[in-house]
Structure 1
């Protein structure tokens, strides 16, 4: 009896220790706006489990786990299918992706390959090459770098910079993650694109606890989105959002629902 009880406690303890670690994350979503309906599914599998920081959908800013993924989306004008993967070996990382877009305007294949180096767990840089069989578009290189600045044992500010080979385009994405105490959390992200087409997006998530949150975003084009996410348990979540544009000339209504499975 004592051995049975001890074995049960060990099993429960092991489950609790691993309850917030995930190797696969899958999403299925449906969106409806004034012009189109969009259905999409996607999944990513990590060869080693990733540990949630607190909220079930928040992880370390820089991923260092080898992974593979696939996605599919369909709307009135096109359907797109894609596969991708990354492999980490020692401090090096190699990645590749393939996407096919079959639309009213043609069938196009997109390819991308990348190679990078993890200088420290907080700094990683990659060189990417992308190409397609679209007429009149040549292959091109671009570079990305990520840096994680730890503010304390829980909070961080993450930066991702990207620049093309001609230095005609530059982007900087930043994310702030903070544990507020009493089981509450906050994230704020600011994404900036500069070059031939300037753009920015500001967004935030507020977590009442690990599984319940609200989020909102706004961008330069006056598109806004508000929504909420609820985890029924540590594995299943449902989220919904509403989006529109503040410019009366571009006014639209977009409703989206998303189901997430994490194991």
Structure 2
């Protein structure tokens, strides 16, 4: 759990034509990671929004808060173990929303969660959810997400996700800023406190967008160093890769994203 990372890979693109309208509703990603001792992980995900999402100035950032009805599905294969997860969020009104999800479908746990929340002025998103776990204790989770929009492009976002007893929690933040021309910078910081595993985990990653087609990143993952880069063919397709130098060995990741 401490060094669980989203993994990264691949693809062939036959056409890179771009439309004038760069808003997107469907986000697909294929990832692969090469871990020490020859272990590989494969991750596929698809996320659909029922309303167009407008990017913040770069082609992989669409704002901090999800404020539209959406549904997503993911598939993970690691060390010959597969996991399928499905979840959705439905806004009954502009403010009130409900959501539900399940993971490890038809496998070992069949864990599930349901919840509801309220969106205040498109800035503060509060929610509560109940997690039904086959192994381990059921728990109630609380989440608060806040976005401060500085101007058309720049913003600061903060999220606190915690158990109702506050023993285990995650605090994360994102700062996104336009520099000049097509240059942008982003900073992501996360801190996780896990009471059950007696662990604290902190990561910080900064990304510099040189232009609309290329970005470079440098990060610290609980004091382990990582570098990453993305190449954007256009507003629809981009390719990413990273190397993280963990104590147990280097982890190599590749990802391919197609969004429409």
TM-score tier, shorter chain, comes to: 0.7 to 0.9
1:32 aligns with 2:34: yes
What does residue 242 of structure 2 align with? Answer: 241
Cα distance, 1:154 vs. partner?
2.1
Per-residue Cα deviation, 1:49-85 (whole angstroms, up to 9, x for no partner): 1001110111111111111111101122411111111
Structure 2 gaps of 5+ residues are: 1-18
Partners of 2:87 and 2:47 in 1: CA distance: 9
What does residue 249 of structure 2 align with? Answer: 252
What does residue 71 of structure 2 align with? Answer: 68
1:131 aligns with 2:135: no
Higher relative contact order (CA 8 A, sep 6+): 2
Instruction: Please report the TM-score for the alignment, with normalisation by the length of structure 1.
Output: 0.85
Residue among 204, 207, 226 paired with 1:205: 207
Specify the SS of the correspondent of 2:36.
coil
Specify the SS of the correspondent of 1:100.
coil
Instruction: Please report the TM-score for the alignment, with normalisation by the length of structure 2.
Output: 0.86
Partners of 2:138 and 2:80 in 1: CA distance: 25
Cα distance, 1:211 vs. partner?
2.8
Which protein is bigger by CA-based radius of gyration?
Answer: 1
- Considering only aligned residues, what root-mean-square deviation do their CA atoms show, in Å? 1.6
Specify the SS of the correspondent of 1:108.
coil
Cα distance, 1:170 vs. partner?
2.9
Cα distance, 1:171 vs. partner?
2.3
CA contact (8 A) 1:190 1:203 kept: yes
Partners of 2:177 and 2:229 in 1: CA distance: 19
Structure 1 gaps of 5+ residues are: 1-14
Partners of 2:25 and 2:124 in 1: CA distance: 23
What does residue 120 of structure 1 align with? Answer: 121
Cα distance, 1:25 vs. partner?
0.5
Partners of 1:165 and 1:233 in 2: CA distance: 43
Cα distance, 1:138 vs. partner?
2.1
CA contact (8 A) 1:188 1:204 kept: yes
1:216 aligns with 2:218: yes
Cα distance, 1:34 vs. partner?
1.6
Cα distance, 1:195 vs. partner?
5.5
- More strand, by proportion: 1
Cα distance, 1:95 vs. partner?
0.8
Specify the SS of the correspondent of 2:108.
strand
Partners of 1:39 and 1:51 in 2: CA distance: 28
Per-residue Cα deviation, 1:169-203 (whole angstroms, up to 9, x for no partner): 23211100000012100000111123623221111
Partners of 1:148 and 1:65 in 2: CA distance: 15
